[in-house]
Amino acid sequence: MRYKYPLLSTIMALSLIGCGDSSDPDNTTPPVQSVDKNTVLQIEETFRVNQSAELFLFYPNHEITNINWQQTAGSPINLLAKTSKVISFTPKEAGDYQFSVSFLVNGISQTIEKSITVLEDSSNITARLAHSVAMENKVSFRVTTNDNINQNTISWQQTSGPTVSVNYDDNTGNYAIFFDAPVVNQDTLITFEASASNAEGDFIDKVAVLVEPAYAITESSYFDTRVAHVFPYRENSPYANDIVDCVYSNKLTSSCTLATLPLIAQETLGGSQTPSIEDIMNRVVVSHQWMGDRFKNFITHYDNHNDFKHLLRATTAIVISYDVRPSFYWAATGAIYLDPENFWLSPQERDTINEAPDYRAGFGKDLQFEMPWRYVKDNDYASRYFSKNNRVTRTEQDGLYRLTSLMYHELAHANDFFPSNEWFIHSNGSRVLDAATNSNFESDKLSITHPLNSQEMRNLAQVRFKGETASANQKAYLPTDIESFFEPDSATDFYAYSSLREDYAMLFEELMMYSRYEVKRDVAITNQPTGSDISGADYIVEWGQRGRFAEPKLKQRVYFSASRVLPEFDSNTALENASAPIPMIVGDNWLENLTISSQNTNFVNMLIQTSSAQNKQLNLPIDSINPIEDTRRYYHKDLPKH
């Protein structure tokens, strides 16, 4: 990939110091130019309505702390990163805007005022989102355009800074780019131009990331790739001084003790008391304040049975950060890590989330079968995927079932490593990791008492979910072969074969989604088409079921898991009241099997008739057919190797 580097105007010229690997065949680097330092910079001379505007607090040779941005004039704007060195926003009205940023420079208080003018004409193209990032952390930018822009003309050029190696998401064309921030020795700006055209001409918008130096990641670091800067959601939390270094920091080289960061259960009268909202929010760590706000609202208004409050007793912390993808639970810290994609409501909130694809999205592509899943309510998709190309606002209800299924799953892991009967057997001086790994895992007991039997499915799961290379025999398996392996066994889903821990969690998750929300899980065995259609119409069902957890041969396994993960829940009655599984119609495609009864056929027909290109603009249903919303979103992180 070749980049062009046009000269920036004097006001935009940036002095950039750092190092990075070049992907340019000619090893070309941008010209180094002078720039004002120790001030607030803007990389564009003018801003327009609906164009992203960015301001950078640029003190490259100084330590900056206690940052606080405030808007002092202009049409009100919600600043979502007001404690960062960079603010970025999309003005909806023309006019003059003024901002004030206060901060400490080497401990000395300073304040800078900055004014910008937004012109009345609307921008045809906008590149988002300027932000600050620690060196080696992941960066993503996305461009949005007016409908009259030819999307095939979208291109990106790096215009300044250490040259970075850029990747594109195959599913989004040139709309989004991804790269790792280079190693730097002082604050360094890296700028890009996004361009596109139509019959009226060419259009350009600029965007930048401020890369901050960070301490080196050592071989003993628990997080061996760079993680984002995060902070305690509640400043006055009794754990505010320790929680970040214990759960989300490259400085972490040894698991913290339970005295430093105990389980939430250890604060709730022997674990028998329901944790309060305050108890839980004292354990929340975020990269952006809005993420904690959304989580608090979820726990406050959508946990009517106190399921999640009870399940959270087995955790030490909840981490929600823009770079968490996929979500996971980690016994080394005792924390759950949640992808903020589950929480955003406004497009501005979504802009702050790094959208680098799940690294496992390509696993198992050389197999001849697929096992899609989806959650269904009233014969319709329970959740929708909202295309990032559409700047929409969604409601909390739109993402509720996606979030609740995720929470049930991840917290099942937490209560597997820390079952309720072992919350108080560990000394305060024990490390969280030692306490977790010394537990008597309930998932191990499940595998002994009610084991899964298909070794073929276990082996295939290592290919599909762990990235192992498929053997010749595995590549030759047809959907009919997979049916003979899977259907007679007692797993609820293909993913259950990836590990004993996932099997245990999947059983609990599916029962809870049905019992609390009347939401059922579909699982099927289909062909794996070679085309690019993501609607599901090309996936022909060989076998499938809705609500497989209620199969008589699975009920004992489901009860074993649910009764241990959440003893407060009457899992026996829930299973007795569960309706029988519904078989799918063999030979019909995945979409046609959505309406196993006669409801919602218009929606199904609409999806079947819609082209792949159009589908990318729809609010797509969430299932494993949609590669943007990959099925393997649950992830149990490996333990440290030391």
pLDDT tens per residue, range 341-383: 999 999 999 999 998 776 666 788 899 999 999 999 999 999 8
Q: Identify the pLDDT of residue 633.
A: 39
- Tell the burial category of 400 from Cβ atoms under 10 Å away from its Cβ (0-12, 13-18, 19+): middle
Query: Is residue 496 within 8 Å of 462, Cβ to Cβ?
Result: no
Task: Categorize the per-residue pLDDT at 72 as very low, low, confident or very high, splitting at 50, 70 and 90.
Answer: very high
CA 496 to chain centre: 21
Lowest mean pLDDT among 11-20, 251-260, 440-449: 11-20
d(CA 601, CA 390) in angstroms, rounded, equals 25
Q: Are strands 64-73 and 131-134 parallel, antiparallel or unpaired?
A: unpaired
How wide is the angle at C-alpha 140 spanned by C-alphas 136 and 141, nearest 5°?
140
CB 301 within 8 A of CB 261: no
Q: Are 526 and 542 in contact (CB under 8 A)?
A: yes
595 vs 631 pLDDT, higher one:
595
According to DSSP, residue 149 is labeled S
| Omega of the bond leading into 189 within 30 degrees of 0 (cis) | no
C-beta of residue 430 within 8 angstroms of C-beta of residue 257: yes
pLDDT of residue 616: 36
Asked if 497 and 460 touch (Cβ cutoff 8 Å), the reply is: yes
In the predicted model, is pLDDT for residue 628 greater than 60?
Answer: no
Residue 287 vs residues 77, 95, 324, 340: alpha-carbon distances, Å: 20, 31, 10, 10
> Which tokens sit at 344?
């955003």
User: Residue 471's CB: how many other CB atoms inside 10 A?
Assistant: 12
At 563 the three-state DSSP class reads helix
Alpha-helical segments (H) within 453-584: 455-466, 472-476, 479-486, 500-517, 552-565, 571-576
CB 523 within 8 A of CB 548: yes
Structure tokens given for 579: 């309706």
β-bridge partners, 312: none
- Which pLDDT tens digit goes with each residue over 184-229? 999 999 999 999 998 888 999 999 999 999 999 999 999 999 999 9
- Per the CB < 8 A criterion, the answer to whether 75 and 91 are in contact is yes
Which residues is 180 bridged to in the sheet?
Answer: 138
Q: Tokens for 346?
A: 């406004």
Which DSSP helix (H) or strand (E) runs through 456? helix 455-466
Q: Residue 122 — pLDDT band, cuts 50, 70, 90?
A: confident
Q: Would residue 496 be called left, alpha or beta, if left means φ above 0 and alpha means ψ between -120 and 50 degrees?
A: alpha
Nearest to 41 by CA among 78, 16, 75: 16
Topology at the third CATH level for domain 39-212: Immunoglobulin-like (2.60.40)
Residue type (1 letter), 301: H
What are the residue ranges spanned by the domains of the chain?
39-212, 231-351
pLDDT at residue number 21: 34
Which DSSP string do the residues of 342-381 spell out, in sequence order? GT--SHHHHHTS--PPPTTTTTTTTSSEE--EEEEETTEE
pTM for the model stands at: 0.89
DSSP, collapsed to helix, strand or coil, labels residue 318 as strand
Mean pLDDT rounded to a whole number for the chain: 87
What letter would DSSP give residue 99? E
452 vs 557: CA distance, rounded Å: 10
CA distance to 163, 500, 557, 575, per residue, from 548 (Å): 51, 19, 12, 12
User: Tell me: the pLDDT tens digits for 396-407?
Assistant: 999 999 999 999
Q: How far apart are CA 499 and CA 464, in angstroms?
A: 12
